[in-house]
Amino acid sequence: MDRPSLVPGQGAPSGRLALNIMHFARVLREAGLPVGPGHVIDALDAAQAGALRSREDFYWTLHAVFVKRREHKEIFDQAFHVFWKKPKMLEQLMQLMFQQITRPADEKAKKAGFRRLAEAMFDKVESQSRREEKPDSLEFDATFSHSDMEVLRRKDFEQMTVTEQAQARQAIARLNVHRLEIPTRRFRPSHAGERIDLRRTLKGSLRAGGHLIDLARRERQWREPPLVVLCDISGSCSNYSRMFLHFLHGLMNDRERVSVFLFGTRLTNISRELKRRDVDEAMARVSSAVKDWSGGTRIGSALKEFNYKWARRVLTQGAHVLIMTDGLDREDVALLTTEMARLKRSARRIVWLNPLLRYEGFEARAAGIRAMMPYIDEFRPVHSLESLGDLAAALAAPRRQEHDPKQWLKAG
């Protein structure tokens, strides 16, 4: 891969510049930006348009062509500096890739999107192997333990990899198929609509001189309802929280009106943190906004806080609720019952995704689970949750008998 030592001035891009722009586009594509051949041609045209006097001009020219969404800026920025020569950065990248033989990458190297970029620039196999070797950053595995102790902990997430990002996108695309839409009170023009659109009818009629009245029709618009996600981040769910968050970040950027709350021993609204940012940057923000990573669970009181403080603000216009928790709560079951009942009354539909059903013989025995079950519209258990794909499959599968909460209550 050739890298130009200097950004050339005006004039048609020489053969090498054109080639380099193309290579640069490939790097961006590898790093997960949606860059197609059309963009490359645009970039060449833009470079040819003249006015490139400085490196900064060049940066913003390419930026204008390649960056189409706010969250892509971070990756572009890093890729630009690495590709169009900034020797130090390259060194840091190398370090990240060959960590076995060098000292651990310092904080600076952990800038958002770095990992995806590194993968895009070097051989992917190596990064894969490195990932496998790296032990989980959590100190202990609390999968099957649960408590109501409040442990305040910070959490650093591993940066998202290219494969993971692709998986997340796929997962969300699959969700589209089973998206629920509800009718709104708005209308749009339609040929076979049920109602008559008087305004268009009259305009059309006048166009023809008022002799003919050709009825124009309209139909009801359908729209996705707001979605509220309540996600458990306590110790027992800690293995999944990273995946959940990546998924939620994707969801947030994909559809409108999503609010995300995390709860362990307290409730945190992270909708703002998740919005419109590069996924790594979003994770960093989330991780500093939340104080109770991998602590205990108090589902009842978390729900109560949600009901009192947020429900009236976010559960409007037919909102759906998605709860991601294992339902293992040591606390007062009466409180959990009351709060679930209240939630049920203000939400149009509640879907519960339970990630802890590792074995097929699961029965709804735990008191917390039995308390929540009657208020759930749909229960989505996951038998093995290893990837975002599994998560999406669990959510996107058509509704079957096993998703009916009553079945589970009977079995218990």
**Residues at the contact surface with other proteins, assessed by CB under 8 A:** 184-186, 198-199, 202, 205-206, 209-211, 213, 256-257, 307-308, 312-314, 316-317, 338, 342
324: β partners:
231, 353
Q: Between residues 32 and 226, which has the closer beta carbon with respect to other proteins?
A: 226
- Smallest gap from residue 293 Cβ to other proteins (A): 26
Q: What are the tokens at 212? A: 């003919």
DSSP letter for each residue of 248-287: HHHHHHHSSSEEEEEESSSEEE-HHHHTTS-HHHHHHHHH
Q: In angstroms, rounded to a whole number, what is the distance separating the alpha carbons of residues 93 and 105?
A: 9
- Smallest gap from residue 310 Cβ to other proteins (A): 10
Q: Between residues 8 and 204, which has the closer beta carbon with respect to other proteins?
A: 204
Q: In angstroms, rounded to a whole number, what is the distance separating the alpha carbons of residues 327 and 263?
A: 12
Q: What's the alpha-carbon Rg for the chain, to the nearest Å?
A: 26
DSSP letter for each residue of 40-93: HHHHHHHHHTS---SHHHHHHHHHHHH--SGGGHHHHHHHHHHHTT-HHHHHHH
Q: Between residues 16 and 309, which has the closer beta carbon with respect to other proteins?
A: 309
Q: Between residues 166 and 213, which has the closer beta carbon with respect to other proteins?
A: 213
Q: Between residues 180 and 206, which has the closer beta carbon with respect to other proteins?
A: 206
- Smallest gap from residue 209 Cβ to other proteins (A): 5
Q: In angstroms, rounded to a whole number, what is the distance separating the alpha carbons of residues 177 and 180?
A: 9
Other C-beta atoms closer than 10 Å to the C-beta of 384 total: 11
Question: Does residue 320 contact residue 351 with C-beta atoms inside 8 Å?
Answer: yes
- Smallest gap from residue 210 Cβ to other proteins (A): 4
- Smallest gap from residue 246 Cβ to other proteins (A): 25
Q: What are the tokens at 321? A: 């609720």
DSSP letter for each residue of 319-370: -EEEEE------S-HHHHHHHHHHHHHH-SEEEEEETT--STT----SHHHH
- Smallest gap from residue 207 Cβ to other proteins (A): 8
217: β partners:
196
Q: In angstroms, rounded to a whole number, what is the distance separating the alpha carbons of residues 300 and 370?
A: 13
The three-class DSSP label of residue 108 is helix
Q: In angstroms, rounded to a whole number, what is the distance separating the alpha carbons of residues 272 and 68?
A: 21
- Smallest gap from residue 90 Cβ to other proteins (A): 40
Q: Between residues 131 and 285, which has the closer beta carbon with respect to other proteins?
A: 285
Q: Between residues 55 and 312, which has the closer beta carbon with respect to other proteins?
A: 312
Question: Does residue 316 contact residue 226 with C-beta atoms inside 8 Å?
Answer: yes
Q: Between residues 166 and 198, which has the closer beta carbon with respect to other proteins?
A: 198
- Smallest gap from residue 108 Cβ to other proteins (A): 33
- Smallest gap from residue 378 Cβ to other proteins (A): 24
Question: Does residue 358 contact residue 278 with C-beta atoms inside 8 Å?
Answer: no
Q: Between residues 139 and 256, which has the closer beta carbon with respect to other proteins?
A: 256
